[in-house]
Structure 1
């Protein structure tokens, strides 16, 4: 979305004594997709805590909405001007942000992608993120084991076309269920015959509900729903409940936010793959401080972990219960 304002909040993390040298107080920027999504709130919390522990100065910014590439471009420019030597970013547009990242790197700024890769992935120095393909595989395996060979008619409530994370979760889910799929490097969405409806939810609850309502109109016999995240899953459940079908349809998802784990405990979501935004950001800040001190740069992909959380275990599938999920979740408990 063009012509949106970026809200650049500068938070100075003060140690016992703030020394006026770059080495003692490296400046690190964190740019998230939005300020309000609990996932990114938790990410900022992790970055803030690690910066304080390491004696760094943290600059934080976010786009006005998910997809606000222009806002992220402005944030990068502002952070370079403010002296940031490391920028951590969750790219809203994996392709459009690349020229701005190149400009930063050309000036000697370390750029680390968090959560979502750029396209191409090596446009940043490193990526700290959930293995989203694995996250999809875990919920696919769980659904297959739980349904015990029952024929399925699947609805997938996806993110939006072309997004790497959306494709990885979608295709991983199908792979885990044992259906024809693409590998983790393919940004297309596989559609085997068992998938009777595919719709874009943009990770939004209201859009997820509308998407599910439309899918049910096209095929009222849907009995398995994959969703890109837990807000979309909540929307799907609302649509199913409205249609009187909530007890006969399994919903699986990815995220691990506190509300999502509550929805698993309540039976609205059968299982979710939990990811760890606080850890991503903390690792990013630590890498930025190391770069400031020694010039050492991280490279490639670092897996920040994923855990299957389910209210009911499924035979042959490793999962943790909702108590464990609540202990590790993000957002309001």
Structure 2
């Protein structure tokens, strides 16, 4: 077994172990530190305990660390996992996925789609982008838009879907949900990659303000990037003049909506995604029935202030539902 920078949270089952009857399910996330993936792991652990499954977990050092994910796939197959749930960091994992499937392993994509997965349990990320685009457009109140796009990184399907969905919702010309290319128009005066990271989000926003100090709308790939953007705007004394919108709807992100850091966020439900994935893994292990196709796990727009023509829920509801704890 290869040595990697992360550790499994469960040991491989030995042949003849008294636990051999337990279904073995693997969960591979992009990172261990992003709150979204922390919540996903919690959901998987709770469902595995409930259903009597053995859960193994692994993660990359950062979003985009496909090498670590490939090693995790190989290690989990060796350890006896019959289903692997994965939030893919990129298409480089596909050959490893195919090898696992050839050995009878079911591979389910969570949150991030990739070609060849047996099933996908995820937010409709294009719709999530549309909702915050519609909100930002209405909140701007007819003023000319100068938009900063704080993205994930080039070529990632989730990043592209949220980006292009936002632009579509804002009423700008954009690529459709199937494209991995990021659209741009004259209104999008700055675009920068953040890796979904708060520190990089702050740096990206600082650079965008240097490029155009009159930016009045900021799209962010997720709430850590949004928090970083807000810090940059506050340092520049511009935090009250800019509408920040985002995607995730985590408990901390919803709290930031309540504080005025984020104007609106599209809430998704990672705990639900992971729990459904574990349940599908147990069903496959016990009866041989594979999951199939796309399952939409839902999205809700959470906003501190409602705007005309855009349906949203308030911070109280967002707090009650944050990331699936009570959904």
TM-score in same-fold range (> 0.5): yes
Does the Cα contact within 8 Å between 1:11 and 1:60 map onto a contact in 2? Answer: no
The answer to whether structure 1 residue 59 and structure 2 residue 56 are counterparts is yes
1:19 offset after TM fit, Å? 6.8
Alpha-carbon deviation of 1:330?
Answer: 4.7
Residue pairs, 1:133-212, within 5 angstroms: 133-212=126-205
Let me know the Cα RMSD of the aligned residues: 1.8
Please say if residues 110 and 288 of structure 1, whose CA atoms lie closer than 8 Å, have aligned partners that are also in contact: yes
- Once the 2 structures are TM-superposed, how far is the Cα of residue 328 of structure 1 from its aligned partner? 2.0
CA deviation profile, 1:294-315 (whole Å, cap 9, x unmatched): 2111111111111100000111
> For 1:2-151, what aligned pairs fall within 5 Å after superposition?
5-10=5-10, 20=19, 22=21, 25-93=22-90, 95-118=91-114, 120=115, 123-151=116-144
Distance 1:224 1:33 in 2: 28
| Mapped contact 2:268–2:323 kept (Cα < 8 A) | no
Corresponding residue number in structure 2 for 1:290:
283
Which whole-Å CA distance do the structure 2 matches of 1:113 and 1:273 have between them?
Answer: 20
- Structure 2: gaps of 5 or more residues: none
Q: In the aligned structure 2, how far is the partner of 1:21 from the partner of 1:83?
A: 10
- Paired residue total: 319
- Please give the TM-score of this superposition, normalised by the length of structure 1: 0.92
2:268 to 267, 275, 280: 275
Give the C-alpha shift of residue 61 in structure 1. 1.3
Q: Please give the alpha-carbon distance, in whole angstroms, between the structure 1 residues aligned to 2:35 and 2:7.
A: 17
Task: Using the TM superposition, give the Cα deviation of residue 53 of structure 1 relative to its aligned residue in structure 2, in angstroms.
Answer: 1.3
Please state if 1:233 is matched with 2:226.
yes
Decide whether the 8 Å contact of 1:6 with 1:72 is kept in 2.
no
**How far apart, CA to CA, are the structure 2 residues paired with 1:189 and 1:115?**
19
Q: Deviation per CA, 1:206-228, whole angstroms, max 9, x where unpaired? A: 11111111111111111111000
Is residue 270–residue 324 contact of structure 2 (8 Å, CA) maintained in 1? no
* Alpha-carbon distance between aligned partners in 2 of 1:111 and 1:309, rounded to the nearest angstrom: 32
Query: d(CA) in 2 for partners of 1:236 and 1:64?
Result: 23
Following superposition, the deviation at residue 276 of structure 1 comes to 0.7
Counterparts in 2 of 1:215 and 1:85: CA distance versus 1, 3 Å? same
For 1:140 and 1:81, the matched residues in 2 are separated by: 45
Label 1:226 to 1:239 Cα distance change in 2 as closer, same or farther (>3 A). Answer: same
SS in 1 for 2:192: strand
Contact 2:248 2:267 in 1 (8 A): yes
Gaps of 5+ in 1: 13-17
Distance 2:128 2:320 in 1: 19
Counterpart check, 1:262 vs 2:255: yes
Distance in structure 1 (CA, Å) of the matches to 2:271 and 2:194: 25
